[in-house]
């Protein structure tokens, strides 16, 4: 009778920041408890626990299990970084915050671009009106 010695290894980051590898032996399925373990207490991933700014973004992330993600976070304000394993729901909220931040940046870029274009048009019109533009300028 063939022996089923299937196992999987999961890297776990402790709250101290130390990483350990845990080997699970099971018949092809990870224990339900193991999938629910979150190795980081942080729940609002976009908020920096050091400077309390909402600028944190993912440097890298990869699936740790079907319901968890291993994410390396970075705050550009204070240079704080943290790697943790987070439940899907927490990562989904983080993804929504990232989408919202992207939308805000695009809106700001659109307003800034329009303001710059309006300023250029006003300066060009003023230069035309004062005969400050010559054919050799082109």
pTM, full prediction: 0.59
Confidence of residue 19 (pLDDT cuts 50, 70, 90): confident
Do 53 and 73 touch, CB atoms closer than 8 A? no
Report the relative pairing of strands 19-25 and 57-65 from DSSP bridges. unpaired
State phi, psi for 39 to the nearest 5 degrees: -90, 5
Tokens representing 68 are 């968890």
pLDDT of amino acid 123: 94
User: What mean pLDDT is predicted for residues 115-124?
Assistant: 94
Do 127 and 133 touch, CB atoms closer than 8 A? yes
- Whether 77 has a pLDDT exceeding 80, the answer reads yes
State phi, psi for 114 to the nearest 5 degrees: -65, -45
């Amino acid at each position: 009778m063939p022996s089923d010695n299937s196992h999987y290894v999961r890297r776990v980051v402790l709250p101290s920041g130390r990483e350990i590898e845990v080997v699970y032996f099971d018949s092809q399925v990870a224990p339900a408890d193991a999938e629910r373990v979150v190795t980081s207490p942080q729940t609002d991933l976009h908020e920096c626990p050091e400077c309390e700014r909402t600028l944190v973004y993912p440097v890298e992330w990869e699936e740790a299990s079907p319901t968890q993600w291993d994410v390396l976070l970075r705050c550009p304000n204070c240079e704080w970084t943290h790697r943790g394993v987070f439940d899907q729901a927490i990562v989904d909220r983080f993804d929504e915050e990232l989408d919202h931040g992207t939308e805000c940046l695009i809106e700001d870029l659109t307003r800034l671009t329009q303001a710059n274009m309006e300023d250029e048009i006003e300066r060009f019109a003023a230069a035309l009106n004062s005969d400050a533009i010559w054919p050799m300028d082109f």
